[in-house]
Structure 1
Amino acid sequence: MYKVLIVDDEPLIREGLRTIVDWEELGFTVAGVASDGVDALAKLPQLQPDLLIIDIRMPGMNGLALMRSIREQFDPAPRFIVLSGHADFDYAREALLMRADGYILKPVDEDELSSALVSLKRTLDEQEGMDGKLSSLSWSLERTAVSLLTGEGQSPPKEALNALRFGGPPYDVVLIKLQSRGEVDAPTASHVKNRLFESFEASGKGVVFSLDPHLGLILAGRATESAANYREMKRICSDNGVDFTAVSGGAVERLEELRRSYRAAEEGMKLRFLLEGDHIYRAEEAMALMPADRETDRAFGEADGDKLLLALDIGSQEAAVLWILETGEAMRGAGMDEQDIKSVFAQLFTQALSKLERNRPEVREQCRAFASEVLKLYGEYRFSGLLARLTELAGKMADAFRSYGNDKQVQKMVELIRRNYAENLKLESLADVFGYNSSYLGKLFKSKMGESFNTYLDKVRIDRAKELLEQGMKVYQVAERVGYSNVDYFHGKFRKYVGVAPSAYRKK
C-alpha cells in the first residue's frame, strides 16, 4: 500500500476525502491528515507518505509553497495531486509546471480522483519495480544538478548524468538573486522559477535549480550566450514585479567541473550590492569592482558627519550631495560590505539631524520626520540605488532647512557659528560647504565682521564659557561643552579674552 497524506484547511473536505473512494482497493491508505502547510511539514518525517493531496489555497503556507519546501527538504520527494477551485487556474498551472501528478477541481469528483490514483499507482509500481527510490528515475535534472554543484549527498548515476548532457559543452552556471525593496515571497519566487523552467528547461536550453537563497541555471553549448538570456530573465522578473542580479561562474568543459563554476558564481554574487543588474555579470567582472588596495583600517565616526551637518544647516544641496558621493566611495574603497555601508550612512545622517535639532529648535519636527526617512535606506539592494535615495533625501533636507537662513553668505556663517560653536568648525570645512576658496571666504568674513573667522569663533565660545562658569559648571566640563578638547588650550584662550583664568572667573 502507498501512504497518503491529505492537506486541506477545511475539516469537512479532509474527512470527505477519507471516504470518497475506496483507498485500499486502489492500492493506497490514508496515513494522516494535516490542516495546513506547516502541519504537513511537521508530520512528513514520521508518516513518510508516498503521495500528498494538497489544497492549493491555504492560510499561511499555500500549496505551492508547501510543494517547493518539500522538494527542497526531502529527497526523494513524495508525489503530489493538487486540489483547486475554478478561480485558482493560474495557481494550478504553476503546480503542474512544478511536476504535480494531478490537478482536480473542487468539489472533488469520485471518478476523477479514482482515475488519477489508478494512473499514479501504475507509475509508482513501475518505479518501485526498478527499485525506484534509488534508480535513475528518481534523479530529476534538478536533483542531479544540485548534487554536482554542491558535492553533497549520493552521487548521481550514469543515466542521470547522461540526461544532463542536454546541449553539450561548454557548461556555465548562472546564479540569480531575486531582489526587491520589500521581501520576495515564496509564491513569487516559485512563479519566477516556473517561468524560467518554461523558457530554458522545457526548450532544452538549460536546467533550472534552487539553492537557497538563489535560483540558478546550468546552460550548455550555444545557450551560454548571455545577452539573450539576460533579456529573458529580465522579462520574467519584470512580469512578476521583482528585480534581480545574475552572476555567471564561467564556462567549463565537463559536467564534473560544474562545481568550480558554481563556487565562482557564489563568490561573485557576494558583491551583488555593487552590481547594477544590467547584464549577467561574469564572476571575475564582479570581483574586479572590489579595490585591491583596500583601506581596511579606515574607520568612520562622528567627525565624518561634520561636513554633512554644515551642508544641511545652510541648506546647500550641492555640498550635501558631494559629501554623500565622497563618503560612499570611501566606504567602498575600504571594502565595507552592504550592511556596514548602510549602518554608517544611517548613523551619520541621524547624528547630523540630532545636532541640527538641538541647535535649531525651530526645525525640530522636520529633523524628526527626516530621521524616519533615513531608515528607509535599508530597503535599497544596490549601492547606486542607496546613493540615489540619499541624494534625493539630502535635496529635500536642504530645501527644508534653507528657508530658515539668511541669503548673505557671511550672515549664514555667523548663524552657523552661533549654532555650532561646540563642533569642530574650521574655515576650510565651511569653504567646501559654501563653495568658496578658503582664503577668499576668510577675507570676505573679516571685511564684513572686522575680525578673522577664528577670532570670532573663539569669542563666541568664550562668551558661552563665561555663562556656564557663572552657573557653577567645572572648568574641564565647560571646555568640552564649548568645543575645546584640550583644557590647557582653553585656559590660554580664556585668559587671552577675559584677562583671568577660568577658575578665577568662576569664583567671582
Structure 2
Amino acid sequence: MHRVMIVDDEPLIREGLRTIVDWEEYGFQVADAAGDAMEALRKLPEAAPGLMIVDIRMPGMDGLELLRAVRERCRPCPKFLILSGHADFEYARTALQLKVDGYLLKPIDEEELARHLERIGESLREERTEAAERWSRESAIQKLLTGEEDVAFEKADLRWSSYEALLVKLLGRDEPDAKRVAGIKRRLVERFDRTDEGAVFSAEPYLGIALKDTMNRSSARGRAYRLIAEACEETDFDAASGGAVASLADLAGSYEKARELMKRRFLFAGGGIVSEEPPLPADAAEADSGAASESEEKLFLALDAANSDAAEAALRRLGAAWLAAGASEQEIKTGFAARMSATLSKLAQSRPEIRDYVQSLDSELASLAAEYRYDLLIARLSSISARVAEKLRFAGAGPDMQVQRMIELIRRNSAENLKLEALAEALGYNSSYLGKLFKSATGDYFNTYLDKVRIEKAKEMLRKGMKVYQVAELVGYANVDYFHAKFRKYVGLSPVAYRKNAADSR
C-alpha cells in the first residue's frame, strides 16, 4: 500500500477525503492528516507518505511553500495533489510550474480523484520497481568489484557489449555532507541508470559509474563528463576512468585502474575525465636532491628582494622537487606550510616593518591543507608571496636602486650561503650584468664585499669575547681555517690576536 497524508486547515475536508473513495481499491491507505504545514512537517518522518494531498491556501506556510520544504527534506519526494478553490488561479499556475502531480478543485469530485489515484499509483509502482532493479544492479556491481561469486547478473541486466569504470570524487575545502552526496548520486542515477547509459554505484570515498557500451565511441567520455558536471551542479569534482573492457569479468580491472589513478588526484587539472597517469610539472623532471634546499634559499631571497615572480618560481621548483621525490599530497601541503612559515618568520626578524603583517598570515597558512588541487595550492602560495612582496617593494627600479637592494640583502643575510647568481635571480637581473653593476657602484666584487661585511660582523663579536669557532659559524664560514685566512687577509691579525688586543685595550 502507498501511504497518504492529507493536509488541510478545514477539518470537514480532512475527514471527507478519508471517506470519499475506497483508498485500498487503488492501492493507497491514509497514514495521517495535518491541519497546517508545520504540523505536516512534524509528522512527515513517521508518516512517510508516497502521496500528499495538500490545500493550496493555508494560514502561515501555504501549500506551495510546504511542497518546496518537503522536496528539500525527502528523497525520494512524495507525489503531490494540490487542492484549490476557483479563486486561486495564480496559486494554481505556480503549482503547475512546480510540476505537481495533480490539481483538484473544491468541492472535490470523487471520479476525478479516483483517476488521479490510478495514475499516481501506477507511477509509484513503476518507480518502486525501477528502484529495486537499480539497487539490484548496484548490488551486483559492488559484489563483482569485491570478488563475491554469487552475483545475479541476469536480474541486474548487465549483459553489455563493453564496460568502463568511472570514479567521481566530490571536492571542496570542506568535505561534502551526506545530504549533498545523496542528492548528487540521485541526479547521476537520473542521467545514467534511467537513460540506460550506465549504472551508478557507491564506492567510498567515491561515487562510481559503470558506463555501458563505450569501447568504440570516442565521444563517450566527453558526454559522461558533461552529465556528471550537470549532476554535481556547483560542486567541484574529479573523475577517473579505468578504460573500456570487453567483458563484465574485466570490469574489476577497470575499476582498480581508476582507483590507482585517483591516488594521483592531487595533480588532476579538472575539466575532464582522467584516463592516464597525470604528468608531473615540467620542472619536476629536472629536480635533483639538492633542489628543495636551494629553492628554499631562493624563496627567502626573492621575498626579501620584493620579487614576487622569482618567489613563485622558487615555490614551483620546491614543489617539483618534492613531487619528483614521490612525496604524498599531505607531505607536500605540510612541507609548503612549514617552509613558508619559516621563511616569513625569518623575514619578519630582519624586516620588522612587516612583522605584524606576517603574523596575520598564520591562519591563511594553516588553511593550505584545505586546497584539493596542486595548481590551486601553488596559486594560493604565490598570492601570499605577492602580497608580502608588495609590502616590501621599494619605490623605483633603476640600476642604482637595485645595487642598494643588493647591499641591503647582503648586510641582512651575510651569514647565509649567498651567491651572486641567486641574488641576481631574486632581483630579476642577469648575474654577469649585476656583478659589473655592483663592482662599478661599490668598488668591490660581490664576493669581496660579502667577505668584508662578514669580517666586520666578526670583529664586533670578537670584541665581545666570543670564541673563534662560534664567530666563524655565526658570520657564515663553515670552515674555521678558512675564516682564519679571510680574517688575517682583511684585518692583518689572527682572530685570536684581534680578540686579545681588544680585551687589553678595555
TM-score by structure 2 length? 0.70
What are the superposed Cα offsets for residues 71-90 of structure 1, whole Å, 9 maximum, x if unpaired? xxxxxxxxx95799766422
Residue number in structure 2 paired with 1:232? 227
Cα pair distance change 1:412/1:327, threshold 3 Å:
same
Report SS of the residue matched to 1:368.
helix
Residue number in structure 1 paired with 2:140? 144
1:253 to 246, 250, 255: 246
The whole-number CA distance in structure 2 between the counterparts of 1:448 and 1:288 is 46
Report SS of the residue matched to 2:289.
coil
TM-fit CA distance, 1:286? 2.4
Residue number in structure 1 paired with 2:352? 361
Matched, 1:156 2:137: no
2:496 to 490, 493, 503: 503
Q: Which moved more, 1:84-93 or 1:203-212?
A: 84-93
Gaps of 5+ in 1: 1-54, 64-79, 98-118, 124-135
The whole-number CA distance in structure 2 between the counterparts of 1:290 and 1:144 is 40
1:348 to 339, 343, 354: 339
2:433 to 430, 434, 440: 440
Matched, 1:462 2:451: no
The whole-number CA distance in structure 1 between the counterparts of 2:332 and 2:308 is 21
1:304 to 295, 298, 302: 295
TM-fit CA distance, 1:254? 1.7
Matched, 1:171 2:163: yes
Residue number in structure 1 paired with 2:115? none
TM-fit CA distance, 1:367? 2.0
Matched, 1:218 2:210: yes
TM-fit CA distance, 1:431? 1.4
Report SS of the residue matched to 1:286.
coil
TM-fit CA distance, 1:287? 5.3
The whole-number CA distance in structure 1 between the counterparts of 2:461 and 2:199 is 74
Q: Is the 8 A contact 1:296 1:335 kept in 2?
A: no
What are the superposed Cα offsets for residues 409-431 of structure 1, whole Å, 9 maximum, x if unpaired? 11111111111111111111111
Q: Which moved more, 1:189-198 or 1:400-409?
A: 400-409
What is the identity, as a one-letter code, of the residue corresponding to 1:227? G
RMSD (Å) for aligned C-alpha atoms: 3.5
The whole-number CA distance in structure 2 between the counterparts of 1:304 and 1:340 is 17
2:386 to 376, 391, 395: 395
The whole-number CA distance in structure 2 between the counterparts of 1:383 and 1:434 is 27
TM-fit CA distance, 1:244? 0.5
Q: Which moved more, 1:169-178 or 1:221-230?
A: 221-230
TM-fit CA distance, 1:336? 2.5
The whole-number CA distance in structure 2 between the counterparts of 1:315 and 1:139 is 60
Cα pair distance change 1:288/1:395, threshold 3 Å:
closer
TM-fit CA distance, 1:404? 7.9
TM-fit CA distance, 1:288? 5.5
Report SS of the residue matched to 1:94.
coil
1:326-345 correspondence runs (5 A): 326-345=317-336
What is the identity, as a one-letter code, of the residue corresponding to 2:448? T
Residue number in structure 1 paired with 2:75? 94
What is the identity, as a one-letter code, of the residue corresponding to 2:150? P
Q: Which moved more, 1:336-345 or 1:455-464?
A: 336-345
Report SS of the residue matched to 2:242.
strand
The whole-number CA distance in structure 1 between the counterparts of 2:481 and 2:425 is 30
TM-fit CA distance, 1:139? 6.7
Report SS of the residue matched to 1:140.
helix
TM-fit CA distance, 1:337? 2.4
Report SS of the residue matched to 2:277.
helix
Residue number in structure 2 paired with 1:385? 376
TM-fit CA distance, 1:202? 2.0
TM-fit CA distance, 1:170? 0.5
What are the superposed Cα offsets for residues 204-234 of structure 1, whole Å, 9 maximum, x if unpaired? 2211111111001011115971111101111
Cα pair distance change 1:302/1:294, threshold 3 Å:
closer
What are the superposed Cα offsets for residues 83-122 of structure 1, whole Å, 9 maximum, x if unpaired? 997664224442459xxxxxxxxxxxxxxxxxxxxx9xxx
Gaps of 5+ in 2: 1-39, 53-65, 79-120, 126-131
TM-fit CA distance, 1:391? 2.1
Cα pair distance change 1:355/1:499, threshold 3 Å:
same
Report SS of the residue matched to 1:458.
helix
Q: Is the 8 A contact 1:209 1:216 kept in 2?
A: yes
Work out the percentage of aligned pairs sharing the same amino acid. 45
The whole-number CA distance in structure 1 between the counterparts of 2:396 and 2:455 is 24
Cα pair distance change 1:425/1:82, threshold 3 Å:
farther
TM-fit CA distance, 1:302? 4.5
TM-fit CA distance, 1:435? 2.3
The whole-number CA distance in structure 2 between the counterparts of 1:222 and 1:151 is 24
Q: Is the 8 A contact 2:304 2:392 kept in 1?
A: yes
TM-fit CA distance, 1:297? 7.4
What is the identity, as a one-letter code, of the residue corresponding to 2:265? R
The whole-number CA distance in structure 1 between the counterparts of 2:403 and 2:301 is 14
Q: Which moved more, 1:136-145 or 1:455-464?
A: 136-145
Q: Number of residues paired by the alignment?
A: 394
TM-fit CA distance, 1:262? 0.6
The whole-number CA distance in structure 1 between the counterparts of 2:288 and 2:296 is 18
Matched, 1:200 2:192: yes
What are the superposed Cα offsets for residues 134-166 of structure 1, whole Å, 9 maximum, x if unpaired? xx98972211111111215xx334xx2013335
What is the identity, as a one-letter code, of the residue corresponding to 2:357? Q
The whole-number CA distance in structure 2 between the counterparts of 1:372 and 1:443 is 43
The whole-number CA distance in structure 1 between the counterparts of 2:134 and 2:271 is 38
TM-fit CA distance, 1:319? 1.3
TM-score by structure 1 length? 0.70
Residue number in structure 1 paired with 2:274? 281
What is the identity, as a one-letter code, of the residue corresponding to 2:229? K
TM-fit CA distance, 1:298? 2.8
Residue number in structure 2 paired with 1:476? 469
1:21-60 correspondence runs (5 A): none
Report SS of the residue matched to 1:176.
strand
Cα pair distance change 1:299/1:271, threshold 3 Å:
farther
TM-fit CA distance, 1:294? 6.8
